[in-house]
Structure 1
């Protein structure tokens, strides 16, 4: 049952301590407008109409969630602030002696939101305020970017993951404990600690890996064909992934003799922890390597407002910047000027955005010459319609289809490179230079030419692109680069709450007021 307005315990802080609450702050704004921002009916679908004991009013919980996301606090820290911080009490309409509520209510509230038809409604409420103010009217630029968010669990090595996955099967699958006791002997799986071996002994470590993989395969074989619930199926699927992603047959073995070793490679989209199976290794650049997720952002660069956000695992083609970007722009109306760095330069995304009528300020990736300081693809005259390629030395050869799923075409300068005076600047190949042309080549070439020669393009990119870095800094500051939750869904809810809180703070800075029944931006007195 949905709770109603709470009766303050003691004098209401906003009434008796108003002069102590910073004017123009989020706290003062919520004290004045909390009920308008989060009206009771907005959350009615989350609660049964009459059954049960009245809960804490959802408007109060939503206010705490916004302040919690803004200050980057845990549930216990947020309730602590609600009990002892006058600013929080004023913002939430509490009395001086009000003790707040149990921190678990925040968990239950987030679960109700997650299971509802509008899990991101708090972000949607603030977005509706943005639209009503008209602050984005006429502002048709959107900057796209992503930020690495570090996961809330420790990365596990292969041995730890194998043991943890088998232990999970024991917990989730009925009867699995007896099967493990009967068929799995490489480790005592009732012991939560690490195996007691000489960890600096490579042979001992290999023997342990072989035993753990053999146990995992034996357990999977014993459980195959069973009809199980979702949790049990997920535990078995996770064990199968762990047993296959990091190991390979030992030298001279095909795996049938039970000899395995840790693979000399990293599996694509490798699971890095059984505690959070959706977190991934992230290579944002050659220098930056982390574990966790990526926050994908669309920002109006002049105001710094987030127009859309999404959190995805940090690896995999389906979660790449270019794959997520169309969803970030899906709610926009009319052509935009889209600013983004080279991570968004995938030709499919560029073609789709260009077809939608957007003006693109997407930085094209630099071409890598075959010889340092030598010729790049743009130094060749490529006629995709006529099917020819002319090299810098003036030799022309035909383009031929190379086959394959990428529909590439190739031009091979066989017999023309050996005596060419420009060979040292063109290729290191023993035979001849090969030029590979991909679909939409003309589109990418035109983008590189525009970025290199168009002063207007360069001025706009230099002016507006840094603004999104400011928004990213707001997002991750004060410890908010480190996530507090496990799994994509829970962390995506946090990201939306964080963006909503930052948008609300930004609107207040811009002069947000409520007059004549609508949200407006009042002129700010210098």
Structure 2
């Protein structure tokens, strides 16, 4: 029986308030949290997550504060519930009596389930940021920076054979618990041996042929279950099971029927087949192969953005950064303030699937900040967030200046002096002039990576007789130089950014972005951000929001009133600066 004898509503803070200002309670982050801002945040009604008709005495706002403190100290649910019952600094922060008994730890799990609905988690962080804005610790139209980090899902890596075997076994377990009589008419004696215990790699057959036969056997058994569920006399509640739904989705991705109505095991993805080129005519006249190349929809597993890789967390996805990390899970995008003489506060958190590129998250970050009236005037990001399209969109729609390095021309190192920036563009005549003074024919519109562009192709006769042809085109077969330009506004942004980012002034301005790495390291090592505690994108986002709020509390608890005035530089530092100035002159 859970302990519901809470006393939130009748708590009197005076009984738990320390008598001396130098008390140990006020020296903890929890004590300073209450001393600095009172109970205005915990009393905010905008974080209300309690459904109508709940048990009397529950305070969702105080539960939210308990959750934030839990992630600030990287505690488990049991440890957080024990801290509420035993620690005086937590009682002081929550406004509880000293003899308050606390609550059962499972209440926090139920509370997070409600927090995962709609945008309640984001509203929790928004309430904290609004209080900081009112206190003058965060300002709009300042300077902010954003970075992302990978988050590991709470699952183990499965091979494709383990995935289909475990998915079918989980569906059978679910059906056996809800409708054993119905399931008895579907399974056979062989299924007990195949699915009676967990499917592990060391228990699978060896050899490519044996594994292919095993995959088809499992696929046939799964189709037997799905076809039985599709019969009209099957109860509807069996079709709505969670694991049954995962079984249906995994079988669509891993199996297919050929023209002879034979069940087939899908092949692996084609690494050279780019998703951005789907639906576009190929330059070669050869027809696509019968096995689905280049479009693997008929015979190959889907791309990482769609492929289910774990039955326990169907929303987790596989991704990798070449040379850095390979993981199954999600991405966390953190946006924090970085104004001079102001505390660093995380103002927005965005959780996305692992394969989603950083550039796709930038506009969502700006839209969310605009809703909170917290758009920056200057936004510092790394290369993954920066394209000419993103710079133009942020400036025209949100009036935000993106500060980040634009990718260099990949041919610049291979052909120095003959990169795209070395050519002169005549936008009125729609022509391009090379460094040798040769003018191209008018360009033609094209589509590159699903974006409009301009294709410039020099004549073969002009390039064939050029003395520097090999340095420019890099070939000896007489082909003309080909350039791909962006539309005029975007091309001008790209050219200007590539020049500016090489100047010392731009590098000094961009150096402030490096602080994002420290924030990522803090949330990962001090607050456990790297590993998911829960399954699903929504609950993972709740973890990220609570981690950000807890990080803010720790930072603000270490921020005293005198921190806004920086310490004067030491004599040796002033001497060094004077000496550097004289040497530069």
1:449 equivalent in structure 2? 499
Residues 45, 61 of structure 2: 8 Å contact kept? no
Match of 2:424 among 358, 376, 381: 381
CA distance in 1 between partners of 2:189 and 2:410 (Å): 54
2:469 equivalent in structure 1? 423
Q: Which runs of 5+ in 1 are unaligned?
A: 513-520
Residues 8, 96 of structure 2: 8 Å contact kept? no
1:367 equivalent in structure 2? 409
Query: Is 1:476 paired with 2:524?
Result: yes
**Which residues of 2 match residues 394-413 of structure 1 at below 5 A?**
394-398=437-441, 399-402=443-446, 405-413=450-458
Say if 1:377 and 1:214 are closer, same or farther in 2 by CA, change over 3 A: farther
**Which residues of 2 match residues 91-490 of structure 1 at below 5 A?**
91-94=93-96, 98-115=100-117, 118-137=120-139, 140-170=142-172, 177=183, 180-181=186-187, 188-194=194-200, 199-221=205-227, 223=229, 228=236, 232=240, 235=243, 238-245=246-253, 256-258=261-263, 260=265, 262-263=267-268, 265=270, 267-269=303-305, 270-302=307-339, 303-316=343-356, 320-331=360-371, 332=373, 336-356=377-397, 357-369=399-411, 372=414, 374=416, 375-398=418-441, 399-402=443-446, 405-415=450-460, 416-429=462-475, 430=477, 431-439=479-487, 440-453=490-503, 455-462=504-511, 464-478=512-526, 479-490=528-539
Give the superposed CA RMSD.
Answer: 3.9
Indicate the SS of the match to 1:458. Answer: helix
Indicate the SS of the match to 2:463. Answer: coil
**Which residues of 2 match residues 78-97 of structure 1 at below 5 A?**
78-94=80-96
Residues 197, 205 of structure 1: 8 Å contact kept? no
CA distance in 2 between partners of 1:392 and 1:40 (Å): 65
Indicate the SS of the match to 1:147. Answer: strand
Deviation larger for 442-451 or 20-29: 20-29
Say if 1:459 and 1:216 are closer, same or farther in 2 by CA, change over 3 A: same
1:39 equivalent in structure 2? 43
Say if 1:231 and 1:349 are closer, same or farther in 2 by CA, change over 3 A: farther
1:518 equivalent in structure 2? none
Indicate the SS of the match to 2:531. Answer: coil
CA distance in 1 between partners of 2:406 and 2:238 (Å): 44
TM-score normalized by the length of structure 1: 0.82
Say if 1:372 and 1:61 are closer, same or farther in 2 by CA, change over 3 A: same
Residues 12, 93 of structure 1: 8 Å contact kept? no
Indicate the SS of the match to 2:187. Answer: helix
CA distance in 1 between partners of 2:440 and 2:192 (Å): 63
Paired positions, count: 510
Say if 1:474 and 1:45 are closer, same or farther in 2 by CA, change over 3 A: closer
Q: CA deviation at 1:276?
A: 0.7
Residues 186, 212 of structure 1: 8 Å contact kept? no
CA distance in 2 between partners of 1:244 and 1:394 (Å): 57
Q: CA deviation at 1:254?
A: 7.3
Say if 1:44 and 1:233 are closer, same or farther in 2 by CA, change over 3 A: closer
Say if 1:475 and 1:109 are closer, same or farther in 2 by CA, change over 3 A: same
CA distance in 2 between partners of 1:523 and 1:371 (Å): 46
Q: CA deviation at 1:457?
A: 2.6
Residues 209, 262 of structure 1: 8 Å contact kept? no
CA distance in 2 between partners of 1:406 and 1:116 (Å): 33
Q: CA deviation at 1:153?
A: 1.6
Residues 304, 318 of structure 2: 8 Å contact kept? no
CA distance in 1 between partners of 2:135 and 2:438 (Å): 61
Say if 1:14 and 1:21 are closer, same or farther in 2 by CA, change over 3 A: farther
Residues 383, 407 of structure 2: 8 Å contact kept? yes
Residues 239, 245 of structure 2: 8 Å contact kept? no
Deviation larger for 30-39 or 254-263: 254-263
CA distance in 2 between partners of 1:96 and 1:184 (Å): 62
Indicate the SS of the match to 2:311. Answer: coil
CA distance in 1 between partners of 2:107 and 2:506 (Å): 51
Residues 162, 199 of structure 2: 8 Å contact kept? no
**Which residues of 2 match residues 4-15 of structure 1 at below 5 A?**
4-5=7-8, 14-15=17-18
1:516 equivalent in structure 2? none
Residues 380, 389 of structure 1: 8 Å contact kept? yes
CA distance in 2 between partners of 1:425 and 1:222 (Å): 67
Q: CA deviation at 1:349?
A: 2.0
CA distance in 1 between partners of 2:48 and 2:19 (Å): 31
CA distance in 2 between partners of 1:65 and 1:88 (Å): 12
Residues 126, 504 of structure 1: 8 Å contact kept? no
1:63 equivalent in structure 2? 65
2:289 equivalent in structure 1? none
Residues 46, 116 of structure 1: 8 Å contact kept? no
CA distance in 2 between partners of 1:219 and 1:288 (Å): 38
Residues 297, 328 of structure 1: 8 Å contact kept? no
Say if 1:110 and 1:470 are closer, same or farther in 2 by CA, change over 3 A: same
Q: Which runs of 5+ in 2 are unaligned?
A: 272-302, 568-585
Say if 1:433 and 1:214 are closer, same or farther in 2 by CA, change over 3 A: farther
Q: CA deviation at 1:75?
A: 0.9
Q: CA deviation at 1:340?
A: 0.9
Residues 381, 404 of structure 2: 8 Å contact kept? yes
Say if 1:293 and 1:34 are closer, same or farther in 2 by CA, change over 3 A: farther
Match of 1:508 among 538, 542, 557: 557
Query: Is 1:495 paired with 2:544?
Result: yes
Say if 1:110 and 1:432 are closer, same or farther in 2 by CA, change over 3 A: same
